[in-house]
A and B are shown apart, each in its own frame.
Chain A
Amino acid sequence: MGDITRLLAPRSIAVVGASTNPNKSGGIILQNIVDGGFAGRILPINPRAETILGHRCYASIADLPEPCDLAVIVLQREAVAEAVRDCVAAGIGGVLIITSGFADAGEPGRALERSLQEMLRGSPTRGLGPNTIGLVNRAAHLTATFVAMPQWCDGPIAICAQTGIFAGAVMQEHMGQPYQRLGVGSVLDVGNKLDVDELDFLEWALADEATGVVGLYVEGIPDPRRFVEAAGRVARSKPVVLLKPARTAASAAASALHTGSLAVDDRVLAGGLRQHGIVRADDLTDFFDYLHAFATLRPPRGRRVGLVTTSGALGVMAADELEANGLELACFAPETLAALGTVVPPWQPVSNPADVWIALDVVGPRPGIETPLEAALADPGVDMVLATVLVPPNADFPEVREVFAGLRRRHPEKPLALVLYGGCRHRWLTEIEGLDIPVFASSRAALRSLRALADYREWHDQA
């Protein structure tokens, strides 16, 4: 069982079932591989074409001049077995079987999948899928999926999923955003996991220098203890965020139909995950938020939060949510209170949450937000800051990027998270893009992520 580097960073790729028709999967995948800038040899396998997209076609795997690292198989279900047999015989490094209708589709499909596993067993050829949308690895310029992602945002996140959505439509929509995208370096859809599974991926991600944060979506875990311990080994150096549904019997049954997964006692699993420092997302929103938070913020040294707001109500709600998340409201130091006092009228008391809406009138929009944030971040009794900021036109100012870049540069070790409401929200989001300042949809979402960061730090420091 070799490691899967050869599959994720291949020097050559064959596409078995490459199509001249740009609307068929076999045509789209080839186009995406080419458009992704893959620099190695691209080898379309199609007995009826001479070239596709300028690349010479081969009639079969057996006709390849030398074994390639990765063969993407996009054939009708009934033709897959022969292709896999050919790949094993040719000594191909790995097969990525896009085709569905195997263990995901009842007993005849399961039997077919078992026969594929038999073919791979004992050979050095690894198997990915079947029933997978493919994989992306930006460091290798590899986009072996059939969903086009023109605006991919590269970064330290590596995702392994038992679903196509993170290399498919959900990701396509997410990456289509103009800002606040996850920085994703790689995505692997393990599909039915006939061979390669998240354990292989974890081993790869731990060693991969481009990976700083790991995201996992799993439905079924055949050996939960082994999985938790493997993920825990990674968590000691890189945060691992897990989204695992199928917590209830009903959803486990749905999962069994989807990919033939096994249900796992979720309460025992939950305990083990906490024990091993794995961050658990409760839903897709958490998953995206936590990955974004871990990719942009350093886990804080403690649990004390400074709240800065330009809406009293948002501050009150955030204070409630903070407590519900097991975080602490920081006690501002005298210097911080004094600094806050310079931006509000003398009659307004200052505390945490710091409500500085009135600072707009007293000192103006820029100092009105910059002074309180600088003071809170500089406060030794504050471990992280959440700012809930209203940005109507009268709160706007030209130097937004400069202000936030400065705060981030001066206080890199303390998480700064934002929530923005108002007409200038889009402008502010554009201004701060690329500064590693996550903007959340709500203070509730922000505090969930800050809590996940704080819990991870606590676990990590005790490990």
Chain B
Amino acid sequence: MNRLCEPDAKRLLAAAGLRAPRGAVAGSAAEAEAVARSLGCPVVVKAVSADLTHKSAAGGVRFAGGPHEVRAAYSEVLAAVGRSRPEAHLEGVLVEERLTGGIECVLGLLDAPGFGPVVMFGLGGLFVEVLGDVAFRFVPLAPRDVRAMIGELHGRRLLAPHVNALVAAVVAFAGLSDRVREAEVNPLLARDDGLWALDAVATLR
């Protein structure tokens, strides 16, 4: 199985210029607390496993407002995943800076039957679950294709300040398709300070 765990997927995305929030993988509650202290901000605590594509559904995501809450979050996350997905191979817990604000987007790459590699981009969070406000293009993409995709979205006006950053990011993301069979960044957070991959899954070819 060539599916990557979240930290490895994020490393791969970094090579395409997509940044992730600061963070580190911890192998113990104490280590998790230490990471939170060094980050010095509210954090997200997430189970790390290549077998978990939907971490929240498995109970594998907790927030911790301060370092003193991290040990409990660490234990809860492992216990929840242990109950809901006992077969999942856990590689630790990712303690990551919690970013807020901005617009949630979704960015995906897949081999669509009959089409080959295809990129999907659109509004994430509620929008993708309920409204499916996304657009598709074949790989390879040109910058004007990304602009056209954004122009197709019902929520396009929300993304107006972020178009240039999105164009660069989506084109670079599409360029991963020679190594990556499938990938999704959801959410890709678009903020004034740039784009952030808050979560990522990827499967190598």
Contact = CB atoms under 8 A, between A and B. Distances in A.
Interface residues of A, number: 17
Given A225-B138, A268-B136, A275 B145 contact: yes
A265 interface: yes
Contacts of B149: 271
Contacts of A228: 138
Given A267-B134, A268-B136, A271-B138, 18 more contacts: A222-B114, A224-B114, A225-B114, A225-B115, A225-B116, A264-B114, A265-B115, A268-B112, A268-B118, A269-B115, A271-B135, A271-B137, A271-B149, A272-B118, A274-B137, A274-B152, A275-B141, A275-B148
A253 to B, nearest CB: 18
A265 B137 contact: no
Interface in A211-248: 221-225, 228
Contacts, number: 44
Contacts of B118: 268, 271-272
Contacts of A267: 134, 136
A222 B194 CA distance: 41
B115 A224 contact: yes
Contacts of A221: 114
A268 B111 CA distance: 11
Interface of B: 112-116, 118, 134-138, 141, 144-145, 148-149, 152
A462 interface: yes
Contacts of A324: none
A107 B121 CA distance: 41
A268 B115 contact: yes
A225 B136 CA distance: 13
A272 B152 contact: no
B152 A275 contact: no
B114 A223 contact: yes
Interface string A247-291: 000000000000000001101111110110000000000000000
Nearest to A262: B114
B114 A272 contact: no
A225 B140 CA distance: 12
Nearest to A229: B138
A271 B114 contact: no
29 contacts: A221-B114, A222-B114, A223-B114, A224-B114, A224-B115, A225-B114, A225-B116, A225-B138, A228-B138, A264-B114, A265-B113, A265-B115, A267-B136, A268-B112, A268-B118, A268-B136, A269-B115, A270-B136, A271-B118, A271-B138, A271-B149, A271-B152, A272-B118, A272-B136, A272-B137, A274-B137, A274-B152, A275-B137, A462-B144
A275 B114 contact: no
A182 B102 CA distance: 51
B138 A272 contact: yes
Nearest to B116: A225
A225 B118 CA distance: 10
Contacts of B115: 224-225, 265, 268-269, 272
Given A267-B136, A268-B118, A268-B136, A274 B148 contact: yes
A150 B205 CA distance: 59
Nearest to A462: B144
B163 to A, nearest CB: 15
A205 B114 CA distance: 24
Interface string A182-196: 000000000000000
Contacts of B116: 225
A246 to B, nearest CB: 14
A271 B145 CA distance: 9
Nearest to B110: A268
A224 B118 CA distance: 12
Contacts of A223: 114
A462 B142 CA distance: 10
Contacts of A269: 115
Contacts of B136: 267-268, 270-272
